[in-house]
Amino acid sequence: MKFKELETVVLERDLPGEGLRRGDLGAVVHVYSPDGLEVEFVTASGRTQALVTLREEDVRPVGDEDLIAVRTVARGAA
């Protein structure tokens, strides 16, 4: 599946070094050919938690059955 810039995506694997967990929401900020993505993950207040380069297989589109939740992230995780 090809993603577009500014599309909201769901992380499909944990990235503990970035303080991210499977299910976290991110925004595609850049698309690299053939299958790379730069994705920004932010806290609920808008602070950038992580800006990571991922492969398309590391994320999926947001689905109609997805429910958004909030969790606390340790400050030293980013």
In whole angstroms, how large is the CA radius of gyration of the chain? 12
Average pLDDT of 8-34?
Answer: 97
Nearest to 24 by CA among 75, 69, 72, 78: 69
Structural domain total, the chain: 1
Q: Is the pTM of this model over 0.85?
A: yes
Q: What is the per-residue DSSP string for 1-49? A: ----TT-EEEE-S-BGGGTB-TT-EEEEEEEETTTEEEEEEE-TTS-EE
Residue 70: inside a domain, yes or no? Answer: no
Residue 16: inside a domain, yes or no? Answer: yes
pLDDT at residue 21 greater than cutoff 90 = yes
Length of the chain: 78
Residue 3: inside a domain, yes or no? Answer: no
Nearest to 60 by CA among 33, 30, 37: 37
Q: Which domain holds residue 48?
A: 8-62
pLDDT at residue 77 greater than cutoff 70 = no
Residue 2: inside a domain, yes or no? Answer: no
